[in-house]
Chains A and B, each alone.
Chain A
Amino acid sequence: MDISSATKPDGKNGDLAESNMAADRDEDFNTRYGSFRGWQMAIERVKPIPRDTAQLNLSRMVLDQRLKDTTQVVDYMIHRFMRVPPSDEARQKMIVFLNKELGTTDISVAQTYLEDPLRLVLHLIMSQPEYQLG
C-alpha cells in the first residue's frame, strides 16, 4: 500500500479537504505522514520525568496533634491546608469518606494504616473550589 492510501482519513465521505488532497498529491511530502512522524520523533526525544509521591507524612502530622477522631482530623486538615473553609456539606462528606476509608472514627486504632486515607482526604481538600483561595 502506498503512503497516501495508508494515511487517508477514515470515515470521511464526499470531498476531501484541500489539506488532505494536497497530502495525496504531494508524494514527496505527505502532510499526514509528516505530522505523524514529527509527533513520533518528538515522543522519542521526550525525557521521562521521574515522578514520586509527595514527601509528606500526614500520619505523623495528625498524630503529633493528638487528634482523637475523624471529625477532628478533617477539621485540622481543613484549617491546615485551606484559607477559606469549604461548605458544611463538603466537610461532612469528607468526614464520612474518612470514616469509610478507615473503618472507624477512632484514630488511635487506625494509626498503622492512616497515611493513604489521609492522602485521599488531602486530595479531596485540594479538589474543593475554595482551595484556590490559598
Chain B
Amino acid sequence: MKKKHFSFSESSRRDLLRLGMYGIGVSAAALPMPLFAQAVASQANANGKILVVLELSGGNDGLNTLVPYGDDAYYHHRPNIGIPRKEVRPIDDHFGFSRGMAGFERLYKNGKLAIVHGCGYENPSFSHFTSMAYWHTAAPNSGEQYGWVGRLADAMAPEAPPNFLVNIDTRQSLAVRSRRHVPVVFDDPNKFSQDVFFDEREALPSSTVSEQIANPSRRFLLDTAQSAKQASALVREAWSKYHSPVDYGVVGLDLPKVAALIEAGMPTRLYYTAYRNNAFDTHVFQNDTHKRLLTYASDAVAAFLKDLERIGRADDVVVMVFSEFGRRVPENVNLGTDHGAANLMFVAGKQVKGGQYGAVPSLTKLDVGDNLIYQTDFRRVYATMIAGWLGLKDTRPLLNGEFEPFDMFQRA
C-alpha cells in the first residue's frame, strides 16, 4: 500500500512559516507564572548555591574506577583487566581508587567527596543514546520534552533571567533544554562571537527583541540570538581575565571555564558540561586508556575545587559527576568491558559530607546479563542536589516521583 505523505508546496510552506505554525515551542514570555512556581523560585533564589554537572560520556567503568579490591569476585570476573590491589589507592579495606585518581583520593580523604554506589534505574537500557536521554531527562523508560537541568532552571527562576543556565559543549545537551530559559551554550570562549567583517558590524540587527512576535519559531531563534549576543561578551571578558595558578592537568575538561565565569560573577546557578565524545566507552584494551581518562577527570575536578577556594567561592559550589551506565561486570575477550547497568555517582564540594552513600551492589548476584543490579535510583541523587543543595523542597514535579534526598551537605 502506498504511504500517504504530507507535502507542502513552496507557497504553502512559506505561509506556514510566516504564520508560525512550522516549528516548536511556546513563547516563554507568554506563559503566566503559577503561584507555586513563584514560591519555589523564592526558595531557590534565597539559597544562592551553584550546581555543576559533569557527564562522563560513554559509560564509565565504575568497577575499575573505585576498585572493590577486597572482593575476590571482582578478580574472578576480571582476571586480566582487574586492577591488582597493590596498584589501587585504597580509601578503606574494601575499595580503592584507580591509580591515577590522586585528586579524588585527596578529596575523599579530606571529606569533600561523596561516592554514591549502585546508581541506576529499572529495566536499564544498554544504548548510549537511550540511557543518556533517560539521565538527561530524569525520565527512565518514558519521555520528557525538557531536560532535568532545564526543568530545574524553570522551577528556580520562572522569570528566566539571562545567563542562569550555562552548557559548555559543542552543542546543547538535552539535559539543559528548558521551557522558559535559553541556555548559554558555548565551547571555546574566544570564539563565542558572531563572525562578521568589520564593515558589517553596524549592520547587524540589535540584540533586543522588542516587537511582538507571533511566530514561536522566530521568537525562539531571536531569543537564542539575543541570549548568545548578551552572554558572549561576558564570557569572552571573563575568560580573558581568568588566570589561575591551579594546575588542572593535561585535560582540564571545561571546568576552568566554569571557574572563570564564577570568578567573573556571572549570575549562573546551573552549569552543565561533559567529558565528551563517548570517551569512556572502553570496549577494547581498556586499562591504560581508562586509567588516563580517570586521571584527567579526577585532576580536573580536584583542581576546580582548589580554584574555587582561591576565588573564595568554594562554599557555594558542588560538582555532581555521572555516566549514562556502568560496564558489564565480567571483562570481554578484547580486554575491555561492554555496556552495563548500575554505576557510581560522585558529588564533590567543600560543603559535601564526604563518604559513601547507598548500598553496594553485589558482585555475585548479578542480573541475567551479568550486570550490577542497581540499588539507588539515580534520581535520588538528583533530588539530593535539588533539595539538599539548591534548596527546592518539593522535587516531585521535577523528577516525576518521590525520591528521598541523601543527607549529604554540611549546611542546609
Name A residues whose Cβ lies closer than 8 Å to a Cβ of B: 9, 11-20, 22-23, 31-32, 35, 83-84, 86-87, 89-90, 93-94, 96-97, 100-101, 120, 123-124, 127-130, 132-133
Does B266 count as interface, using CB distance less than 8 angstroms? Answer: no
Among B23, B101, B200, B243, point to the contact of A18 (Cβ < 8 A). B101
- Quick one: given A89-B206, A93-B202, A124-B203, are A12 and B18 in contact (CB under 8 Å)? no
| Interface hits, B62-107 → A, CB 8 Å | 100-103
Q: Is the CB of B218 within 8 A of A84?
A: yes
Q: Is the CB of B204 within 8 A of A9?
A: no
Interface string of B184-219 (1 = CB under 8 A from A): 000000000010110110111110000100010110
Among B199, B218, B292, point to the contact of A120 (Cβ < 8 A). B199
12 contacts between A and B (CB under 8 A): A15-B247, A19-B292, A20-B249, A84-B217, A87-B205, A93-B204, A97-B203, A120-B200, A124-B203, A129-B205, A129-B218, A133-B221
Residues of A within 8 A of B247 (CB): 9, 12, 14-17, 20
Known: A13-B246, A35-B250, A129-B205; 10 extra A-B contacts, CB below 8 A, are A17-B247, A17-B250, A18-B103, A18-B249, A84-B17, A89-B205, A93-B204, A127-B194, A128-B205, A129-B224
Does B251 count as interface, using CB distance less than 8 angstroms? Answer: yes
User: What's the least CB distance linking A133 to chain B, in Å?
Assistant: 6
Residues of A within 8 A of B103 (CB): 17-18
Q: Is the CB of A133 within 8 A of B217?
A: yes
State which size class the interface on B falls in. 35 or more
Would you call the interface of chain B mostly helix, strand, loop, or mixed? helix
Tell me, in angstroms, the Cα distance from A13 to B310 when the chains sit together.
Answer: 12
The stretch among B135-143, B171-179, B294-302 that forms the contact with chain A is B294-302
Tell me, in angstroms, the Cα distance from A43 to B217 when the chains sit together.
Answer: 40
Name B residues whose Cβ lies closer than 8 Å to a Cβ of A: 13-14, 17-18, 22-23, 100-103, 194, 196-197, 199-200, 202-206, 211, 215, 217-218, 221-222, 224-225, 243, 245-251, 292, 295-296, 298-300, 302-303
User: What's the least CB distance linking A125 to chain B, in Å?
Assistant: 11
Residues of B within 8 A of A22 (CB): 100, 295
Q: Is the CB of B225 within 8 A of A129?
A: yes
Residues of A within 8 A of B251 (CB): 19
Residues of B within 8 A of A84 (CB): 17-18, 215, 217-218
Among A19, A31, A35, A127, point to the contact of B204 (Cβ < 8 A). A127
